[in-house]
A = this chain, B = another copy of it.
Amino acid sequence: MDGRRAVAVWRDGAAVRVPADQPVVTAFDAGLARGDGVFESVLVVGGATPRLADHLARLQCSTGLLDLPPVDDATWRELVAAAVDGWPAEVEGVCRLFLTRGDGTSPTALALLAEVAPDVLRQRADGVAVVALTYGLAADVRASAPWLLGGAKTLSYAVNMAAQRHAHAVGADDVVFTSAEGRLLEGPTSTVVWAADGVLHTPPLDSGILAGTTQARLFAAAEADDWPTAVTAGTVADLHAADAVWLLSGIRGAAPVTSLDGVARGDAGLTARVQELLAR
């Protein structure tokens, strides 16, 4: 792996900075062996993490959904501070927080930091070509089946990664997952937002998708700016008919969807407003 990196692990009650190429988990760690853990990806900009609180709130939610031993926010903040220490202000970074069930004695908590990948910066600027792929689940099943871990950001992302590889194989950049009945869900690492009839829309959380931290911030800023928002059980047809579609995430921000299932689409000039709202 190229580029600047940093890692901090929690050991004996303190955040300890370790060399980035030094192994940090054993072969018996459930995070490795079973994807049994949770994570967050936090943007580092100007050498700081202005959105950390939103991500810690979601991390605590994921921790509870997986019945993991809770790690308090102060610990996470120490880990983040140790990882970010000395990071150059001019380099955008992604700080990932991992909590795993560990190797049977105690959970594993660590923070890692890497440069934001050039592809991500390009997609933030130029947008993304997207394909819609089924996630297989009905939109209502996760609300009544907690073992399916709806709403939790887990380390078990093999399907998310396979979907993105599938998108690349067909010439696209990213994916919008749909439910068994064709409802919009989310991207593998993003929230879907669309503008139609003067309203910003996003799918309902009771479909089991993640609560998007960037989407929440955008919707609060939009409401304050007299741009109405709605939670809407949309379909791919709604995206085709929309004025603009974005994939939102903490690192990439609002990436406009420039094509959907091979059909080019515009953004009606709305991306600048969305990005301005997110910059507030």
Pick the residue among B39, B67, B104, B135 that contacts A33 (CB under 8 A). B39
Judged by a CB distance under 8 angstroms, whether A13 is at the interface is no
Pick the residue among B22, B133, B137, B156 that contacts A158 (CB under 8 A). B156
Evaluate contact between A67 and B165: CB separation under 8 angstroms: yes
CA distance A33 to B158 in the complex (A): 10
CA distance A28 to B24 in the complex (A): 10
Interface residues on A, range: 35 or more
Interface with B: A120-128, A140-148, A223-231, A267-275, which one?
A140-148
Evaluate contact between B27 and A7: CB separation under 8 angstroms: yes
Evaluate contact between B26 and A27: CB separation under 8 angstroms: no
Evaluate contact between B138 and A166: CB separation under 8 angstroms: no
The chain B residue sitting closest to A166, CB to CB, is B147
Copies of this protein in the complex = 2
Pick the residue among B112, B138, B162 that contacts A28 (CB under 8 A). B112
Judged by a CB distance under 8 angstroms, whether A23 is at the interface is yes
Judged by a CB distance under 8 angstroms, whether A161 is at the interface is yes
5 A-B pairs closest in CB distance: A35-B35, A1-B104, A156-B156, A156-B158, A23-B23
User: Chain A 110-136, CB within 8 Å of chain B: the 1/0 string?
Assistant: 101010000000000000000001111
26 inter-chain pairs at a CB distance below 8 angstroms, sorted by A residue, are A1-B28, A1-B103, A2-B104, A20-B27, A24-B27, A25-B25, A25-B27, A25-B32, A27-B96, A33-B96, A35-B35, A37-B158, A66-B162, A101-B161, A133-B145, A133-B147, A134-B141, A135-B148, A136-B136, A136-B142, A136-B145, A136-B148, A154-B158, A155-B156, A156-B158, A180-B180
CA distance A27 to B23 in the complex (A): 7
Evaluate contact between B162 and A149: CB separation under 8 angstroms: yes
Judged by a CB distance under 8 angstroms, whether A36 is at the interface is yes
Evaluate contact between A31 and B32: CB separation under 8 angstroms: yes
Evaluate contact between A162 and B136: CB separation under 8 angstroms: no
User: Chain A 217-243, CB within 8 Å of chain B: the 1/0 string?
Assistant: 000000000000000000000000000
Chain B residues positioned under 8 Å from A263 (CB to CB): none
CB distance from A76 to the nearest CB of B (A): 15
Evaluate contact between B32 and A26: CB separation under 8 angstroms: no
User: Chain A 170-208, CB within 8 Å of chain B: the 1/0 string?
Assistant: 000000000010000000000000000000000000000
